[in-house]
Structure 1
Amino acid sequence: MVQSEVPTVSDLLQILFKTNHLLHQQFEKHIANYGIPDYLTGPRLRFLIALEENPNIRMNDIAKQIGIQPRTVTQYVETLEKEELLIRLPDPEDRRATLLQLTEIARPQIKKARTGMGVAAEKLLKPLSEEQRKQFLTILSILKEKNDPFS
């Protein structure tokens, strides 16, 4: 595709997928430099950060909040519980529901991860000017709003 041509929606989506994959790989590589264990992938770290920001949240509520399927939450919880980063608690208000709570082991990992994620983000998005970042956020926000089944 020549730069002066108007890209097709298919072209745009393909470059978005390829770029997402590349950025994800680079992101994982950067945070590994901060001593983050391999099992703490970017999505699992974002899950832990969401849990830190919403203590004692129900599993189905965190799924809705961060926009993932309940079965994905279950997979994350099983892995993170095995690593002793969170625990499941019965919900005193609903016997069928389960609350999630971080352990003290999780907090230093999250702190390291936040630092590593910030550095990774700066490095990966450094080529964008401030104005381009604003435009990028606007575009991504529109796409998310129009396609998010959880909103």
Structure 2
Amino acid sequence: MNTPGIEFGRKTAAAYAALCKPLCQKLHLTQTAFDILMFLANNPGYQTASDVVEMRKLKANLVSVNVDRLVQEGYLVREADPADRRRTLLRCTEKAQPIIVRGRALQEEFGQKLLENTTEAQRKAFCETMDIMNKNLDAILERDT
């Protein structure tokens, strides 16, 4: 069986960045700033800069600089966590909503392009396999803790 090589992850990230580039240029946002905004919009359970660092595997200083810029430009606001005043939550603003809508459309387009030339059966099998692999990863991680 042919399995995706080491290049698959790099190619996926590069293709996504290439698809995002015109929108990022038009919006005068770096790819990282766009990624942070979309991550926060698409993952409401993750609301802090630390969450972005941990889940997206980005360097803390890069996240900090881009969050500062997104706050200055009015796309994010910082709020104290009511449950823990030491934590600062990041929230997307109303000004960010048009970018988020366009970003989600772009992400949908990317997903469609990625799955071009596949059958419905292949897509279903892929999703089922990914679900099984995700459960296997959870089991591996539970054993190691």
- Assess same fold via TM > 0.5: yes
SS in 1 for 2:107: helix
**How far has the Cα of 1:21 moved from its partner?**
1.7
Counterparts of 1:56-135 in structure 2, within 5 Å, are 58-59=47-48, 63=51, 68=55, 75-76=62-63, 78-84=65-71, 85-135=75-125
Gaps of 5+ in 2: none
Counterparts of 1:11-90 in structure 2, within 5 Å, are 12=3, 15-34=4-23, 35=26, 37=28, 39-41=30-32, 43-51=35-43, 54=44, 58-59=47-48, 63=51, 68=55, 75-76=62-63, 78-84=65-71, 85-90=75-80
For 2:57 and 2:86, the matched residues in 1 are separated by: 14
Off by >4 Å, runs of 4+ in structure 1 = 69-75
Gaps of 5+ in 1: 1-5
Answer yes or no: is the 8 Å Cα contact 1:31–1:116 preserved in 2: yes
TM-score by length of 1: 0.66
Give the RMSD, CA atoms, in angstroms: 3.4
Identity %: 23
More helix by share: 2
Structure number with greater CO (CA < 8 Å, separation at least 6) is 1
Total equivalences in the alignment: 133
